[in-house]
Amino acid sequence: MTRICLWLMDWVSRLLQPNERDAVLGDLAESCEPPGQALLDLLGLVVRRQAALWGERLLPSIVGIVIGTGLCFYFINNIYGYMARPLTDTLHALGLSHHLVYTNPFDPFNLYIKLSITCGLFLASPYVLWQFWLFVSPDLYRHEKRYAWPFVTLMSTLFVTGGFLGYKLALPAALRFLVSHGGRFWPMVTFNEYSDLAISVIVGVGLVLELPGLCWLVYLKQKGARRREEAASLDE
């Protein structure tokens, strides 16, 4: 257990600045705390440092999503019509009632909020990805920083394309499979439950297409951190 804690401490400490990392590890070694408690102290410090770093980028991203949500809420009736179409078309093709219901008076407003946030996320995705890039860019070489606009453009396109494929291909296929296996029962689908399924599929497919680019971004961040660590060791 002690070896595992020491290995975790070494791995977690790499998220700190090189100079700070050496000082923190030295202080923890001198404190003679049990490895488990030392690991918890180190995790708390790393979380505070990362929260301070990410806070500079998360707040503008949240503001961008909120603005996108407000714009999408203005067109929420059209958005709902497009979102409900895969289910209503599937029910109509099977000869079933295509009217959606709700069981709580708050459900319609809750649905509009969820749809607005989802569409706002897609609308603000270029700005959010730009904030991610700004978080990583201080650790990059000058020639690597030239990939900023290609990265934002490509990743935004992939995210929107993934959402479109989820809406056009994955969601109708899933609905046909699910509804066709309920032939013995009369369906009474609430639009709140349907919206949860639709949002999960659409956003999920979009995120799947985002994974390679996000992994590459994490790789660049880690490579930049290693360069800083090597530079700090050479200065010493």
Give domain status of residue 142, yes or no. yes
Distance from C-alpha of 167 to C-alpha of 65, rounded to nearest angstrom: 21
Give domain status of residue 27, yes or no. no
The pTM score is 0.73
Range of the domain at 204: 57-235
Contact 119, 68 (CB under 8 A): yes
Give domain status of residue 15, yes or no. no
Give domain status of residue 49, yes or no. no
Give domain status of residue 10, yes or no. no
- pLDDT tens, position by position, 25-80: 666 666 666 666 666 776 776 666 666 666 677 888 889 999 999 999 999 988 88
- pLDDT tens, position by position, 92-136: 776 766 677 777 788 888 889 999 999 999 999 999 999 888 877
Count of domains for the chain: 1
Give domain status of residue 87, yes or no. yes
Give domain status of residue 125, yes or no. yes
Instruction: For residue 128, give the nearest of 74, 69, 46 by alpha carbon.
Output: 69
